[in-house]
Amino acid sequence: MAGVALRFIPGIGEQREQILRNLGIETAEDLLHYYPRAYEDRSCPLKLEETVAGEVAACILTVRTPVRERIIRKGLSLYTLLASDETGTCEITFFNQKYIFSQLKQGKAYLFYGRMEGDLIRKQMKSPAFEPVDDFASAAKIVPVYPLSEGITQKILRKSIGFLLANRTESLEENIPLEIRQKYALCEKKYAVRNIHAPENFESLAIARRRLVFEELLQFRLGLLAIRSKNTQTPGIPMPLGDSKEFVKALPFTLTNAQRRVIEEIRMDLQRSVPMSRLVQGDVGCGKTMVAAAAIWLAVQNGWQCALMAPTEILAKQHFEGLQPLFARWNISVVLLNGSMTAKEKRESLTKIASGEAQVAVGTHSLIGEQVCFKNLGLVVCDEQHRFGVQQRAMLSAKGEAPHLLVMSATPIPRTLALILYGELDISVIDEMPPGRQKVNTFCIGEEKREGLYGFVQRQVAEGGQCYFVCSLAEDGDGERKAAEEYALHLQEVLPQCRVAFLHGKMKASQKEAVMKEFAEGKIHVLVSTTVIEVGVNVPNATLMVVENAERFGLSQLHQLRGRVGRGQRKSYCMLFCEDKGAEAARRMAAMCETNDGFVIAKRDLELRGPGDFFGNRQHGLPEFRLADIASDMAVMEQAREAAELILNGDPLLQEPRHQVLAQQVDGMFSRCGYGAIFN
């Protein structure tokens, strides 16, 4: 099938072939695996009298009047007609669709599908989909709805994929062994592909989807297990020297038992002759940075350099300013490297890193630049691992000879899910908060409370506190800048005694740095921000977090934002403005108000979220799922994990003929996100 050029598939041609390639569709097989995002149920048409205003419906109606054109203004034309069945009449309207004249003929029956409007007396449909009912079986069906790109329509995709289903499915190769299909009651590949695009009914769609989700998760798990196996076979750098108790004892504060346990797990990893690959996850404020500091200290005691990479300059500088005085007592040299430094500062840092004078290098993506050379890199630490791609981590690790890797995440997820998603990493969980860490009181409020909130802000500032106002703004460059500025100006008007500033993702790093420096020094009382402050900003005097349009954020993201306050001794609060009054939004906001436990929030997020919200823009560095959803497919994910282990136990390198297709597909899946060949 891969030999069929896309341009030769009916409905595509050379121009559309290029558009499809931009979507990652290179071959006919890729097109068959371009799955629908939704379905329109046209299989059970209703009579007009059975339809409900506001709900989508399919109706078989006969066109009763010719199409009439009415020009509303230049560039806007309205096309209307009347269609009916034995129970009533419906006015059907189209906008700027002149082709309707030739498509809808008076006296002919069509299946119309769209949202019903109007009332019992006057039914209306605006721009419905329609098909002639010459053959009812072809019109009344479950219709796929595909993700689109400019230049590609639903009609084009349905036509071209329909052609492949009719002519090319015989060449689809089965990639799951028979015994696995039988054990987990999976249908054949050909049946699954046909029924994911053109399901006979919703039962066959469910059977097809389960098979394809299983296949996707099986490939995902096989890849992670193979990566883990390779990691354990790579010679590493044993680091036997150093007692972590000496480090802990020298600290001016007491670590939690959870921190001590994780530090000991890391120490044991570092002593082994294979590279450490460990994920440390914990709630906001649980003390992950001090655990990373202990790992760095142990590596330096063994004579090795360390690199700590953070996703933003603000966070990198914060790490630098925390580690430098901490390590000074052991005469450990720490340097900073980021994009906004002067050329002279960069040269000095690069020279110290290359000579080995700098034992610890803290920085942003600048650390993976070609000009950065380490003398003997032994440990790589990545903070907020989901913000770095696999290639970025690999490029930093490549600056040493198989250095140990420690990645940290402040996005808690249930352990069972972490074991599945991060199968190539050992996992440590810091499940205990340092003493004195405050609970942040959280409230969901409406517009009627806004004036009272402004008074509360003024009282917080008068008592020495500071406040965040976080907005969900469209990230479109100048539009974001204007929205942030306008909101800050509005707050300055209603809070005249406060100094208000704004911060957004499109600002230069130096500008962000200057604003955050003033906020940290207490010179700014109220900071209007986008989610750029979600990670890493530490301002002990910040006592109030206000989130506008909180329903637009995932729960885990809201929890991260809430974690920016309550970091000092003052009582802190989080106020969530929520415009959506629906039951779903109410459940999500209630979860935020009920608990401050990030792991509980994560579990609730998985239960309540919409697809894709849990990881925001999706966890970087892992393959994208075409069908699988980590919230709704947990049971299938567990079965796929079990099946992957069964397969690899019998054929660790997937070398048997029956596993060859599967091996190729695993390589293809992981190559899309930066991994090299895993099995071939």
What CATH number should be reported for the domain holding residue 278?
A: 3.40.50.300
467 shares a domain with 396: no
448 shares a domain with 407: no
449 shares a domain with 423: no
Average pLDDT value over all residues in the chain:
85
Instruction: Identify the domain boundary among 140, 162, 196.
Output: 140
583 shares a domain with 468: yes
280 shares a domain with 411: yes
- Whether the predicted pLDDT of 556 surpasses 60: yes
The verdict on residue 119 lying in a domain is yes
Question: How many domains are there within the chain?
Answer: 3
Q: The domain containing residue 341 runs over which residues?
A: 244-430
pLDDT tens figures, 25-43: 888 888 899 999 889 888 8
Q: Which residue has the tokens 């069945």?
A: 85
The verdict on residue 15 lying in a domain is no
How many other C-beta atoms lie within 10 A of the C-beta of residue 629?
16
pLDDT tens figures, 228-278: 787 777 788 999 988 888 899 888 888 999 999 999 999 999 999 899 989
- The answer to whether residues 112 and 128 touch, using CB atoms and an 8 Å cutoff, is yes
Q: What is the structure's pLDDT at 389? A: 59
Got the DSSP string for 523-537?
A: S-SEEEE-GGGSSS-
The verdict on residue 14 lying in a domain is no
Alpha helices in 68-185 (DSSP H): 100-103, 136-139, 154-167, 178-183
What pLDDT band is residue 537 in, cutting at 50, 70 and 90?
low
542 shares a domain with 419: no
Which tokens hold the place of 224? 């992670």
Instruction: Identify the domain boundary among 119, 140, 161.
Output: 140
451 shares a domain with 389: no
- Whether the predicted pLDDT of 526 surpasses 60: yes
Mean pLDDT of all residues in 609-616: 42
pLDDT tens figures, 41-88: 888 899 999 999 889 999 999 999 999 999 888 878 899 999 999 999
The verdict on residue 156 lying in a domain is no
482 shares a domain with 423: no
What pLDDT band is residue 616 in, cutting at 50, 70 and 90?
very low
Comparing C-alpha atoms, which of 378, 432, 437, 406 is closest to residue 260? 432
Q: What is the structure's pLDDT at 379? A: 96
CA 415 to chain centre: 18
- Whether the predicted pLDDT of 400 surpasses 80: yes
- Whether the predicted pLDDT of 504 surpasses 90: no
The verdict on residue 306 lying in a domain is yes
Q: What is the structure's pLDDT at 420? A: 67
Which tokens hold the place of 610? 């919409």
How many other C-beta atoms lie within 10 A of the C-beta of residue 446?
10
pLDDT tens figures, 161-217: 988 898 877 778 899 999 999 999 999 999 999 999 999 899 999 999 999 999 999
The CATH number linked to 108 is 2.40.50.140
pLDDT tens figures, 420-456: 667 678 889 898 888 767 789 999 998 889 999 999 9
463 shares a domain with 368: no
From CA 409, how far away is CA 429, in angstroms rounded?
A: 10
Got the DSSP string for 231-277?
A: HHHS---------HHHHHHHSSSPPPHHHHHHHHHHHHHHHSSS--E
453 shares a domain with 420: no
In the chain, % helix, strand, coil (3-state, to 5) comes to 45, 20, 40
- Whether the predicted pLDDT of 621 surpasses 60: no
- Whether the predicted pLDDT of 610 surpasses 90: no
Structure-model confidence comparison of residues 335 and 521, the more confident one: 335
The verdict on residue 27 lying in a domain is no
295 shares a domain with 399: yes
The verdict on residue 180 lying in a domain is no
Report the percentage of the chain scoring pLDDT > 90: 41
Q: What is the structure's pLDDT at 611? A: 36
473 shares a domain with 425: no
> Residue 23: beta bridge partners?
none
Q: Which residues contact 516 (CB under 8 A, 6 or more apart)?
A: 314, 503, 537
What pLDDT band is residue 586 in, cutting at 50, 70 and 90?
confident
- Whether the predicted pLDDT of 4 surpasses 80: no
Structure-model confidence comparison of residues 314 and 573, the more confident one: 573
Instruction: Identify the domain boundary among 430, 453, 477.
Output: 430
Which tokens hold the place of 676? 């090299």
The verdict on residue 291 lying in a domain is yes
Q: Which residue has the tokens 């469910």?
A: 206
From CA 453, how far away is CA 317, in angstroms rounded?
A: 33
